[in-house]
Amino acid sequence: MNIISYNVNGIRSAISKGLIDWIKEENPDVLCFQETKAQPEQIDTSLFEALGYHCYFHSAEKKGYSGVGILSKTKPDNVVIGMGNPKYDSEGRVIRADFGDISVMSVYVPSGTTGGIRQDFKMEFLYDFTTFIHNLRLSYPKLVISGDYNIAHKPIDINHPERQVGVSGFLPEERDWLTDFLESGFTDSFRAIDPSPEKYSWWSYRAGARTRNMGWRIDYHLISQALVAQLKHAAILSDVVHSDHCPVSIDLT
Cα gap 52→206, rounded to integer Å: 37
The catalytic position among 148, 157, 188, 244 is: 148
Residue 148 designated active-site:
yes
Residues 6+ apart with CB under 8 A from 59: 36, 38, 39, 40, 66, 67, 92
Give strand ranges (E) for the chain. Answer: 2-7, 30-34, 54-58, 68-72, 78-81, 94-99, 102-108, 142-148, 186-188, 202-203, 215-216, 219-224, 231-236, 248-252
Cα gap 197→155, rounded to integer Å: 9
Q: Specify which residues 98 forms β-bridges with.
A: 78, 103
* Cβ burial, residue 13 (10 Å; 0-12/13-18/19+): middle
Cα gap 123→120, rounded to integer Å: 5
- What are the phi and psi torsion angles at 138 (to 5°)? -65, -35
Active site positions, annotated: 148
